[in-house]
Amino acid sequence: MKLYIGNKNYSSWSMRPWVLLTEAGIPFEEVVLRFDSFDPHSAFKTEILKHNPTGRVPVLVDGDFPVWDSLAIAEYVAERFPEKNLWPADPRQRARARSVCAEMHSGFAALREHWGMNIEAHLADVGARVLAEQPALRADLDRIVSMWTQLLAQSGGPMLFGHFTIADAFFAPVVTRLVTYGAPVPAAVKGYVDRVLALRSVSAWYRDAQAEHDFLQFEENYRTGRA
């Protein structure tokens, strides 16, 4: 299988299936398509459109069969490798895990807009200012804290549903945002953040992201003048 992804510093959607496959020990070939721009005729768009008619990453190509959209990829991988137990075994917990993944997939617009993924950056001062200015961002953060607190209490940890599942892969990019922007979170959530960061898959993604040194102005809401 091949997984087509974007820049690791910025591409939150790419991070989800990459972390899932890596943490589960499922072999794949990584293909990084650098974000040069998202214009229709950019090098990125030209290449990704060969594999995905929507022109976006991630895309998983299994033989000659492409699967795009991170949630579809996760479902495909879970069915392809049932022995990896990527969803909870209990039907109700499996439904709950799918629910929170779908919520992440379609929601948290303010979090995405105001706290874009930027692993290399350290923007705690900016994070505090924007959090104070944007009530929708505060609401998104409150929902994340409430969700994770409840799931961790019910499962007993260390992950949201006890063992590592698709849900943890889906929220891994949110963990990076909380770190980048210095989000104030309670101890239980901070403990979960630390455990996600310590996962071998997330640690590897972080190392690669920090080694890119590929500053893209159109991905930077808060920093200017870098090259």
Looking at the fold, whether 98 and 73 belong to one and the same domain comes out as no
Q: Is residue 199 part of a domain?
A: yes
Return the half-sphere exposure (C-beta side, CA atoms, 13 A cut-off) of residue 195: 18
Instruction: Mark whether 188 and 132 lie in a shared domain.
Output: yes
Q: Considering the chain, what is the average pLDDT of its residues?
A: 95
CATH code assigned at 62:
3.40.30.10
Residue 60, beta-bridge partner list: 3, 67
74 and 164 assigned to the same domain: no
Residue 159 pairs with which residues in a beta bridge?
A: 162
Q: What are the pLDDT digits (tens) for 160-181?
A: 999 999 999 999 999 999 999 9
Query: Nearest to residue 186, comparing CAs of 135, 140, 136, 145?
Result: 145
* Judgement on whether residues 78 and 95 belong to the same structural domain of the protein: no
What is the residue range of 36's domain?
2-84
98 and 76 share one domain: no
**pLDDT over 80 (residue 224):** no
- Asked if residue 162 is part of any domain, the answer here is yes
Q: What is the pLDDT of residue 31?
A: 97
Q: Which residue has the higher pLDDT, 215 or 182?
A: 182
Which among 22, 54, 84 is the end of a domain? 84
In this prediction, residues 92-113 reach a mean pLDDT of 97
CATH no. for residue 175?
Answer: 1.20.1050.10
pLDDT at 227: 35
Close Cβ partners of 126 (under 8 Å, ≥ 6 residues apart)? 181, 222
Terminus-to-terminus CA distance in the chain, angstroms? 34
Cβ within 8 Å of residue 76, ≥6 positions away: 60, 62, 67
Q: Which of 50, 84, 118 is the last residue of a domain?
A: 84
- Residues 164, 112 share a domain: yes
- The structural domain count of the chain equals 2
Q: Is residue 226 part of a domain?
A: no
Same domain, 138 and 203: yes
Residue 4, beta-bridge partner list: 31, 59
Q: Is residue 202 part of a domain?
A: yes
Within a domain: 213: no
Q: What's the predicted TM-score (pTM) here?
A: 0.94
